[in-house]
């Protein structure tokens, strides 16, 4: 079930994954906040709630498994953007005060 903080991220994987690496990748789907995990042509597509999971933690696990393809400059920028968005999303999700921006002012009714 999706929530307003759901993010979908893509990451290129190495071409020759071992069976053990594939099994360990599937274990990412059991992490808190992960809603969906798919693989297609050496690309992993993961959907998760940024209110409960962070790209930085997922990327750290992918690095530990040594399954990420070498990162290009564009991918490094993209992953930094993912981290930035996730940090802001988690901060907004955990904020106790609801935001006031983009809300119409409340006008008292006339008697």
Residue by residue, DSSP assigns 12-46 as: EB-SS--HHHHHHHHGGGGSTTEEEEEEETTEEEE
Look at residue 106 and tell me whether its pLDDT is greater than 70: no
Look at residue 99 and tell me whether its pLDDT is greater than 60: no
Look at residue 105 and tell me whether its pLDDT is greater than 60: no
Beta-bridged to residue 49, according to DSSP, are 6
pLDDT value for 77:
97
Cα separation, 80 vs 84, in Å, equals 6
pLDDT value for 61:
92
Host domain of residue 13: 6-94
- Residue 11 lies inside a defined structural domain of this protein: yes
What CATH code is carried by the domain that includes residue 90? 3.30.70.100
Task: Quote the pTM value.
Answer: 0.78
Average pLDDT for the chain? 87
pLDDT value for 96:
73
The helix/strand/coil state of 54 is coil
Cα separation, 99 vs 72, in Å, equals 37
Domains contained in the chain, number: 1
Cα 95 → chain centroid: 19
- Residue 105 lies inside a defined structural domain of this protein: no
102 against 90, higher pLDDT: 90
What percent of the chain has pLDDT above 90?
Answer: 58
- Residue 48 lies inside a defined structural domain of this protein: yes
H/E stretch holding 79 reads helix 73-94
- Residue 111 lies inside a defined structural domain of this protein: no
């Amino acid at each position: 079930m999706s929530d307003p903080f759901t993010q979908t991220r893509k990451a290129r994987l190495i071409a020759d994954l071992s069976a053990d690496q594939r099994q360990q990748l599937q274990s990412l789907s059991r992490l808190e906040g992960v809603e969906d995990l798919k693989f297609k042509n050496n690309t992993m597509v993961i959907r998760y709630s940024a209110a409960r999971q962070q790209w930085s933690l997922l990327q750290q696990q992918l690095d530990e498994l040594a399954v990420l393809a070498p990162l290009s400059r564009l991918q490094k920028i993209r992953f930094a953007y993912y981290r930035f968005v996730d940090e802001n999303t988690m901060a907004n999700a955990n904020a106790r005060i609801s935001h006031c921006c983009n809300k119409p002012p409340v006008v008292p009714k006339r008697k």
